[in-house]
Amino acid sequence: MSLVREVRRSLLVGYGMFRMHLTSYLSSTLNALLWLTLFLAPSVVFSSDPLSALLYLTPPVIGVNIVLLSIGLSQEYVTWLSEGGELDDLRLANLTLWKYVAATFPFDFLVVGFAPFLLSALLLSWYLGIAPTWLFRLNAALFALSIPVLMASGLLMASLIGLLYLKNPLARVLSQIIQILFVVVLFLPPRYLPEQYMALLVPGLVAVELLRASFGSNTISTNLLVSMTVPAVISYLLLSLLASRLVEKHFLKFGVETRY
């Protein structure tokens, strides 16, 4: 019963945070749609096989948006929320950085992750004159399998970036560089890695390839992807909890402070 209550409480907190962020989420969704259309349209339009390009390029949109949003929530938690005193309230409610990101994930996934993917896919399909029936080719099992990997990846990146912000005065610049690198890497096919298991070293890469696999456009074998799912989730969660623990130790030692 205590676990059920904790999950229920987390969902209520996540819904409250989602409502607080709703305006910025809608803005982020439209912004993501614009940039994704600008980035993806040339590759799809000038491809010799536009449908294959759609199947290959649009599923990673979900993974990229979730990882970038997790980084943004981490930055918000350790910097901006401290200015108005909201961080003190969150910590009094025992809402750590890890819980803060985890609680909002279900809502973030639907609005910031899935919505831009769906809108960009429909927009490009309409422009190219391709029937959007390819969206119904979805393998629900593989798509569902990607969600815990995606959540664990987001939690790991959020915890690491939060720790970076607290420990390094150059964190703002470094964070921007990391985000650019992640956008590039998550769109690249893991089949070009020296060893395909190296996909585990990049949080989000396994999840993105699972999303591709759910539409039949994966670049490495489905069996290998499925075998990497459990190690990815366990390792990312453990590392995220460790990094989050270090964030908590920093707060206990130095208190809540504003950083820009």
- Domain residue extents for the chain: 2-254
pLDDT at 161: 92
Who wins on pLDDT, 25 or 252?
252
**Cα separation, 153 vs 108, whole angstroms:** 14
pLDDT at 72: 84
**Cα separation, 224 vs 197, whole angstroms:** 8
Read off the pLDDT band of 251 (50, 70, 90).
confident
Reply yes or no on whether the pLDDT at 259 is more than 70: no
Reply yes or no on whether the pLDDT at 23 is more than 90: no
For tokens 């750590």, name the residue: 96
pLDDT at 71: 87
**Cα separation, 98 vs 70, whole angstroms:** 10
Task: Please calculate the CA angle 230-235-239 and round it to the nearest 5 degrees.
Answer: 155
Q: Which two tokens stand for residue 41?
A: 């349209």
Average pLDDT, the chain: 82
Q: Is residue 241 within 8 Å of 235, Cβ to Cβ? A: no
**Cα separation, 157 vs 178, whole angstroms:** 10
Q: Flag the least confident range among 80-84, 95-99, 157-161, 194-198.
A: 80-84
* Each residue's pLDDT tens digit, 152-200: 999 999 999 999 988 888 888 888 898 888 888 888 888 888 888 888 8
Reply yes or no on whether the pLDDT at 1 is more than 70: no
Residue 74's nearest CA partner among 106, 96, 52 is: 96
Contacts of 136 (CB under 8 A, 6+ apart): none
Read off the pLDDT band of 207 (50, 70, 90).
very high
